Amino acid sequence: MTKFSQFFGSSIGRKLIMSMTGLFLCLFLIVHLGGNLTLFAGDDGYTFNIYAHFMTHFPPVEIAGYVLYISILVHAFYALVLTLKNRQARPVKYAIAPKTPVRWASLNMGLLGSIIFLFLIIHMSNFWGRYKFMDGTYREYRKDLLTGKLTSSVYQPVSPDFEYAVTTENNIEIVRVKDLYVIVTHSFSLLWYVLLYLVAMVAVSYHLYHGFQSAFRTAGLVHNKYTPIIQFTGIWLFTIIIPLTFALMPIVFYIKSLL
């Protein structure tokens, strides 16, 4: 066995892999949130559908997507390994219950991660899987380039291989694209899915409350000058702002579905 495999098979090596994949997933959350905010553009899904097509068809982004999927699986695998190792090392639970949120999150990272992983399976199959591999609906957007007026309607492709098209006729830009927005709208009109989403965001919040700061400590990035910045970012950005903003999406769409 080489020194490389010995290191990454050790407890420190496994934790380092966890921290690196975890930080990569944190970066993905920021990008994913930015894209999903186009749901609130108020243009009947025009911006969001173009964004969705770009993210699933631009080769560099597709490659990054597969790196993301691998990172999720690796992160989940090593999380399971570390959880089992910790239980073997300490089969008896703590006699005193944790009194702080960070302590509770630290002792329940396995539970939080399991909730998130289950949610990701459902979430990706419902959105990415249906969008990528199932026949969906298409939408045609007509935008007047002089006035900016935008209209939309359902579009039925002639060819079964149709993906995306942009043409211009008499100062009218015509965009025909697969409609992920309608899938999102329908999913967020279902109360059970909204509740699942909210539970998952609570789990993400607690998971990142401990995980983000822990990842930097594991990587040895601890310094009196920078640690407070890391803690501030971990608490406000990854524990509050990002999960809360994600949570607002299903809430807003569900309320709209009731009106």
- The whole-number pLDDT of residue 96 equals 52
- Summarised one tens digit per residue, pLDDT across range 161-210 is 888 999 999 999 999 999 999 999 999 999 999 999 999 999 999 888 88
Same domain, 208 and 230: yes
- The whole-number pLDDT of residue 105 equals 64
Same domain, 209 and 238: yes
Domain boundary among 145, 178, 211: 178
CA distances from 134 to 107, 160, 183 (A): 40, 12, 12
Same domain, 160 and 50: no
Same domain, 101 and 183: yes
Residue 101 pLDDT > 90:
no
Task: Tell me the C-alpha distance between 241 and 246, whole Å.
Answer: 9
| Lowest mean pLDDT, pick from 101-110, 233-242, 246-255 | 101-110
Q: Mean pLDDT, to the nearest integer, of 75-97?
A: 68
**Helix axis angle, 46-57 relative to 11-36, nearest 10°?**
140
Residue 104 pLDDT > 80:
no
Same domain, 194 and 102: yes
Same domain, 166 and 184: no
- The whole-number pLDDT of residue 227 equals 81
Q: String of b and e for 5-16 (b: at least 16 CB within 10 Å)?
A: eeeeeeeeebbb
Express as a percent the part of the chain with pLDDT over 90: 50
Cβ 181 vs Cβ 139: under 8 Å: yes
* pTM for this entry: 0.85
Name the residue range of residue 26's domain.
Answer: 3-135+179-258
Domains: count for the chain? 2
Domain boundary among 155, 178, 201: 178
* pLDDT classification of 150: cutoffs 50, 70, 90: very high
Same domain, 242 and 161: no
- The whole-number pLDDT of residue 143 equals 95
- The whole-number pLDDT of residue 30 equals 94
- On average, the pLDDT of the chain sits at 86
Same domain, 69 and 187: yes
Same domain, 131 and 143: no
Domain boundary among 123, 153, 178: 178
Same domain, 191 and 204: yes
Q: Mean pLDDT, to the nearest integer, of 66-94?
A: 77
Same domain, 186 and 91: yes
Residue 97 pLDDT > 60:
no
SS (H, E, C) the chain: CCHHHHHHCCHHHHHHHHHHHHHHHHHHHHHHHHHHHHHHCCCCCHHHHHHHHHHHHCHHHHHHHHHHHHHHHHHHHHHHHHHHHHHHHCCCCCCCCCCCHHHHHHHCHHHHHHHHHHHHHHHHHHHHHHHHHCCCCEEEEEEECCCCCEEEEEECCCCCCCCEEEEEECCEEEEEEECHHHHHHHHCCCHHHHHHHHHHHHHHHHHHHHHHHHHHHHCCCCCCCCHHHHHHHHHHHHHHHHHHHHHHHHHHHHHHHHC
* pLDDT classification of 93: cutoffs 50, 70, 90: low
Same domain, 85 and 141: no
